[in-house]
Amino acid sequence: MFPSSNAPLRTPKILLVLILVFGCGGLTGVALSRLQTAQASTATKLNASWKKMTMDRMRRELQLTPVQAESIEQALDDFTMFYQSLQAQMDDVRSHGKDRIQGVLNADQRKKFEQMVTELKQTR
């Protein structure tokens, strides 16, 4: 199909393109992973800061005993875990609903719908 004189020139180009595509994909994956880790770390730090401030104030103003403080701290930890679980469930529900809506729309409508979703996120 191809002249044999071009075959050696085409193979390195194809390999180079494949290497570049997979390399870019790998770098993108690493970058997104680090971003997600940084966001999770920030959320953890904020939660720890909020918890410490709350506990300090409650100890001071309510004059908690050590046993009470420990029980309340456990309750705050449980509440935080419960809230995070609910948040993850809500994210799943939103994603499922969005997918169902997009399945009904044509290509032009999907573009407009994405703009609407983006505007809604910016409003929040």
Q: What angle do CA 23, 28, 31 make, to 5 degrees?
A: 125
* Domain termination site, one of 29, 63, 97: 63
Residues 45 and 82 both lie in one domain: no
Residues 36 and 90 both lie in one domain: no
Give, for all 124 residues of the chain, the pLDDT tens digit: 455 555 555 677 777 777 877 787 777 777 777 767 766 666 666 678 888 899 999 999 999 999 999 999 999 989 888 988 999 999 999 999 999 999 999 999 999 999 999 998 888 7
Residues 118 and 70 both lie in one domain: yes
CB 106 within 8 A of CB 118: no
Tokens of 94: 């939103």
Residues 53 and 76 both lie in one domain: no
Domain ranges, residue 101: 65-124
* Domain termination site, one of 25, 46, 63: 63
The length of the chain in residues reads 124
Residues 1 and 59 both lie in one domain: yes
Residues 54 and 86 both lie in one domain: no
Residues 59 and 8 both lie in one domain: yes
pLDDT at 114: 92
Cα 35 vs. chain centroid, distance in angstroms? 9
Helix (H, G, I), strand (E, B) or coil at 2: coil
Amino acid at 64: L
Please count the structural domains in the chain.
2
